[in-house]
Amino acid sequence: MQNIKKQISRLYLSTVFGYLSLSGAWIAILAACGYSLVEIGFAETVFHITSLILEIPSGVFADVFGRKNMLIVSSIMRTIGNIVMIFSSNFCMICISMMFQAANYNFSSGSGEALAYDSLKLAGQEAHYEKYASNQLMIQRFCRGLSTLCAGFALFIGYQMAYGADLLIGMIQIWLLGSLYEAGTGRKHENNEQSLFAKSEVKIRNLRIILHNIGRELVSCFITSLSFMKKAKGAVLLMLCNSLVGAADILLLYFLQAKLPEAGMSDSALGFALFFMELGGIFGAKIILKCKQLQYRSVFVITGLLVFCGILAEHSGLCILMTAGGFAAALGDDALQVRTNTVLQDMFPSDQRATLISIESFTFSMIMIVLSPLAGGWFSRW
C-alpha cells in the first residue's frame, strides 16, 4: 500500500516538473521574435509530423524496454530540444527544437499512463485510475497555466533565459523519474526481452542476433496491438472523437496567445488570461468525476459544443469574451479526456497498454498535422 502511494505521488511530481516551464507560452515567444502565425503553424506541423513518426514506436519501446526508462528518455529529449532552442538563430533550428520536443511528448505519452494503471492494478486499486487521470490532467493544466502566467516575464528576459531555466527543471525531473519502479500485472515483454538476452549471452559477440531478437519482440508487440485495434472498433471511434475535440481546443488556446495581444491585451495581462483559460481544464477534469452516469455520447456532444463556442468567441475581438471562450474550450477538452482515458484503459490489455495509448496519440497527431497549418491561416484571416 505504501509503495503504490509513493509511486503515484512520484508520478504526480514528475508531471509537475514536466509541465512547469518558463517557455510555456512558446507561441507568444515566437510571435514576439517576429514569426508569423503561418510560420508558427508550420512549426506546430513539424512537431506533429515528428510525433506521427515516433508515436507508435515509442509506445512499443515502452512496452518492451520499460515505461520508466522511456519516461527518462522523454526528459532527455526535452533537454536537447531546449538546448537547440537556446542556440537557435533561424526558423530551421526552431523546427529542429520542435522535433526534440515532439520526441519528449512521444516517449512520455502512454508510458506514464500505462505505468500508473499497472501499478494500481498490481495493488488491486485499478478502480482508482479515473481519479488518477483526473488529477493528472488538473496538474497538467495548472502547471501549464502557471507557465503561461509567466508569459510576460519570459518575454521580458528573452527566450534564451526562459529555455535555460527549463534545462534546470528538466534535470530535476530526470532525477525524480529515476526513483520510480516498473510495475505490471505481468511485464511479459520485459521478461521476454531479458530471456532473449539470456539466451544470447553465450553468443554475446554476435550483435546481429541480439538486434534481431529485439526487433522481433518490437514487431510482435506492434502486430498484437494492431490485432486488438481491428477487433475493438469502438476503441478506434473513441480515439477519433477525443482527438478531434482535443485538437480544436489546443489550437484555439495556442493561437489565442498571439490573438489576445492583437486584440489589445497587454503582456502583463496576457499571462493571467492564459492561466485563467487553463483553469477551465481543471474544472472540466473535476466536474466529469461527478457525472459518472452520463453516457459517453452525451459527454462528447456537450464538450464538443463547449469547444465550438470557444472558437466562435475568439472571433468577437473582445478580450474578455475570447478568454471566456478559451476557458470553456479547455473545460470541455479535459472533461472528455478523462472519460475517454478511463474507458480505453479498461479496454486495453496490459502487455500492449503503452503501445495502444501511443496509437491514440498517433491519431491525434494525424489530425493536428492537417489542422495546424489550416488553423494558422484561418486565425490569420478570421
Enter the pTM of the model: 0.68
Q: What is the pLDDT of residue 214?
A: 59
Mean pLDDT on 43-64: 81
- Cβ distance 343 to 223 under 8 Å? no
Q: Is the pLDDT of residue 94 over 70?
A: yes
- Cβ distance 255 to 37 under 8 Å? yes
User: Mind listing the domains of the chain with CATH numbers?
Assistant: 2-376 (1.20.1250.20)
- Cβ distance 181 to 68 under 8 Å? yes
The fraction of the chain above a pLDDT of 70, given in percent, is 82
pLDDT in tens, 14-39: 999 998 887 777 777 888 888 887 78
Identify which has the larger pLDDT, 24 or 81: 81
pLDDT in tens, 326-360: 999 999 999 999 999 888 877 777 666 766 776 77
Q: What is the pLDDT of residue 215?
A: 65
Q: Could you give the CA distance from residue 146 to residue 126 in angstroms, rounded to a whole number?
A: 30
Tell me the DSSP string of 266-308: -HHHHHHHHHHHHHHHHHHHHHGGG-TTS-HHHHHHHHHHHHH
